[in-house]
Amino acid sequence: MNSPVCIDTSVLIKLVVEEAGSDLVDRLWESWIVSSIQIIAPSLLRYEVAAVLKKKEHRGQLSAVLARSALSAVLNLEEIEFVDSADLHLHAWELAGRLDLPTLFDAYCLALAEMRNCALWTADRRLYRSVKAKVPYVRFTAA
């Protein structure tokens, strides 16, 4: 069986909103689906995606209709196993300290990938650059 892949908010946003790098995420997503690779994410990603989409709407980057449609698309993605557990919260807390991350949001994705021994895919250049030397399982999706 193939190892699962963990995704972060930046990947989900590029999957449901057309922006730079969306074509790469679309190809990755399709390859995971065709290969029956399990896709996992911390359950809090639904909230993060909603927050990002609302911010894009507020800034005029997306219409209200497109933002709500994108959120609905994420909430209806059956291919993602959303994970929440006490162990995940504790591991994210520990990992944030170890990696000197200022918040826990990125740490949740990193912790889940570490706990499941799989790659974390991100389109967040800042996150990738800040942890790539210490976290061998992080992968960057966009050029």
pTM summary value: 0.93
CATH code reported for the domain at 5-140: 3.40.50.1010
In the chain, % of residues over pLDDT 70: 98
**Per-residue pLDDT tens for 4-14?**
999 999 999 99
At how many degrees (to 10) do helices 45-58 and 64-75 cross? 170
Q: Which two tokens stand for residue 118?
A: 């799989």
DSSP labels, 35-101: TT--EEEETTHHHHHHHHHHHHHHTTSS-HHHHHHHHHHHHT-TTEEEE--HHHHHHHHHHHHHHT-
* Amino acid identity at 55: K
